[in-house]
Structure 1
Amino acid sequence: MATVELLFSALPEHVRTARLVAAAVARRAGVDEAVLDEVRLAVGEACSRAVGLHVSQGISSPVRVVLTEDEKKFSIEVADDAPRATTVALATAGSAASGAAGPSRGVDEAGGDSEDDMGLAVISGLVDDVEVTAGESGGLIRMSWPTTTAPSVP
């Protein structure tokens, strides 16, 4: 299992770099070329969301992106340090956390921010396997895509 970790200051101009790195690592991991645009867009949305949360709450710690190449899937985690009073969870079909056949959304008791909700909706539309959690220590978006593996030779 190969892992790449990217830490960047919560500045909008660094989101593009995160997208480019994610696409390059996804390509190397064996994610289908037809899906790379979705990877770029989903990472861009997740990183933009994290940057926005850091900026709006005056958090100086970096945004963290972890890209993991596994045997059959490529995973990306985007983490922020913006605390939330309640846990928000979103999982879609294929996610280990879901177990359901379709989207399953936890609702933020505070009502949530509509711009934040829109970003999460875009991500869930792009990625079949996504989980979003948030709590007092910050938020985490986990996304994964299948990889194409070369057939093994007996």
Structure 2
Amino acid sequence: MATVELRFSALPEHVRTARLVAAAVARRVGVDESVLDEVRLAVGEACSRAVGLHQRAGVLGGAVRVALTDQEKRFLIEVEDEAGPMSVPAPGADEDADEDMLGLAVITGLVEDLEVTNGVRGGLIRMSWPVPADVLAR
């Protein structure tokens, strides 16, 4: 089981890099080409959400952690923020809450295996995709 870990300052300009790294690692571990856009988009949404949480919480100097793990039959991605205790706001509470809910809805539409929980220092989004059996046989 190999893991690539990326940590970046919670700034919007780093989200693109996280998307590119996620797609490259997914391709390397054998995730089906037809799923790569979903991986890229889901990671982008999760990282954008983490950056937004940092900005709204006023957490300066915090980082977003992206862990990309090649498991035996799955490709696992974890996106963790350091914005403090995670809360999923109620729809319509305010503009930030609506943006957060929209981001989670987009991720839910892209990822079948999704878990949104509390991490060590903030929120944690765990997503995974299958690695085709023919890739595993190589």
**TM-score, structure 1 as length reference:** 0.78
Report if the CA contact (8 A) 1:83-1:135 is conserved: no
Matched, 1:117 2:101: yes
Structure 2 gaps of 5+ residues are: none
Q: Which has the higher helix share?
A: 2
The 10-residue stretch of structure 1 (121-130 or 136-145) with the greater mean CA deviation from structure 2: 136-145
2:62–2:83 Cα contact (<8 Å) kept = no
Aligned alpha-carbon RMSD (Å): 2.2
Please give the alpha-carbon distance, in whole angstroms, between the structure 1 residues aligned to 2:73 and 2:86. Answer: 35
2-structure distance, mates of 1:81, 1:9: 10
The answer to whether structure 1 residue 148 and structure 2 residue 125 are counterparts is no
Aligned to 2:67: 66
Question: Structure 1 runs of 4+ off > 3 angstroms?
Answer: 134-137
Whether the aligned pair in 2 keeps the contact of 1:76 and 1:144 (CA below 8 Å) is yes
Residue 33 of structure 2 is matched in structure 1 by 33
Tell me how many residue pairs correspond in the alignment.
Answer: 132
Measured in 1, the distance between the counterparts of 2:11 and 2:41 equals 17
Aligned CA distance change for structure 1 residues 121 and 6 (closer, same or farther; 3 Å): same
- Report whether the alignment pairs 1:84 with 2:85: yes
Structure 1 residues 11 and 128 mapped into 2: Cα distance closer, same or farther (>3 Å)? same
TM-score if structure 2 supplies the norm length? 0.87
